[in-house]
Homo-oligomer: A and B are copies of this chain.
Amino acid sequence: MKISLISVGTEMLMGQTVNTNAVYLSQELNKIGLDVMYHHTVGDNPRRLRDLIDLAYKDCDVVITTGGLGPTQDDLTKEIVTEVLGDHLVLDEAILDDLKQNFKEQGKPFTDNNRKQCLLPSKGITFDNRKGTAPGFALEMDGRIAICMPGPPYEMKDMYVRHVRPYLEAKSGQALRFRDIRCYGIGESRLETELLDLIEGQSNPTLATYAMEDECYLRITAKADSEAEAEAMIDAYMPAVRERIGAYIYSEQGEELIDVTARLLFEQHITVSCAESLTGGLFASTLVSVPGMSAVFDRGLVTYSNRAKMEELGVSEETIARYTEVSYETAKEMAAGVRRVSGSMLGVSCTGVAGPDGGTKQDPPGTAYIGISFGNETYAKRIVTRNLGRNENRHSTMMAMLYEVYRCAKACADAEAPDEGQEKN
């Protein structure tokens, strides 16, 4: 099925709001195998909206609108859509009762213009709005389908997931499911190379690789008659995928590295502290973005000056004099130092050159050393980022620290469950 998306609202034409609805819906519709042919944004103008709908049906089976369903006079999406498709609006008494009840519960007076929100196409299917007041609907007339949803993204997304996606899947007669296999420490081109025969040999499921900042992922997409069947088709591919790239996978369910790492730290009761130089608090800040982090995170020492590294972490003056502050040795002493002063089970550190200036020929901007102290081991690793900029370098270094912490916690989890064998994140 081919789809045209129409977003109604002047705030986007002013550049005050980014059209995130079009991005979300395009991604979601592509995931279920539907093709988006157009995005349009237009103000509350009947003639222009009518023109766009007419244009859409030249190529598309479905027009999806967001916005313009509210109670005020200039909200007219519903009226125009219904008119173009040849239906008319009728008052939905059930929706009206719900809405009145809703206002009553919130202690707000029900003003008469709210009745407008309860006028719905006589031949449509109403979609209730759990996050706001304006209901949405689908209307099919003579093979042309229109779907209207409210504009606020949280209302729209809730309605899409509960009503619109099932409606469209039923119409298209197929289920499409995908799974994102997230990897760290492997570039997209190598990921593709490792999987090339699987990628090229298959049409269903399909495999495709995608690059993100500092990581990449594999998406496996399957089409089938049912959701369960599509999931089973993806499952069947996992052994081959794990065999090729298992060493780089940190989540088979599309999760973020921070969330996987936090869960492992919680489950394994591993307490953590960090000592940061070039990331300047970004690692600690990323950790504590997860609720409940105080259960395992004790402290983070942002030792930006050399004096701070010596005073706070006990890095020796001799080490800095001999190896400089940007070195394996300093990173190791920082990790061991923060572990010692905090009494945490794991100490992680970084030191390096954030840029744009500074650094040496050996260690130019974008070079960092990551230190880890955990169990009986204290070690350091050198990373060289793509040096795309100061804050990109800081992000890459933070991700490298996070991945080392993930590896330590994962090793503990694996040691606990030695019989399970295969990786399950």
Contacts and interface: CB of A to CB of B under 8 A. Distances in A.
Contacts of A43: 37
Contact of A26 (B15, B48, B304): B15
Identical chains in the assembly:
2
B40 A38 contact: yes
Interface string A248-283: 000000000000000000000000001010111111
A115 interface: no
A28 B357 CA distance: 32
Interface of A: 12-16, 18-20, 22-30, 35-43, 48, 51-52, 55, 58-59, 274, 276, 278-285, 287-289, 291-294, 297-305, 307-308, 311-312, 341-342, 354-357, 390-391, 394
A119 B272 CA distance: 61
Given A19-B19, A40-B40, A298-B308, A285 B289 contact: no
A115 B38 CA distance: 30
Nearest to A12: B39
A183 to B, nearest CB: 18
Query: Which are the 5 A-B pairs with shortest beta-carbon distances?
Result: A280-B288, A281-B281, A15-B26, A281-B284, A300-B302
A389 to B, nearest CB: 10
Contact of A311 (B284, B307, B341): B341
Contact of A285 (B13, B280, B303, B305): B280
Contacts of A36: 13-15
Nearest to A309: B299
A285 B294 contact: no
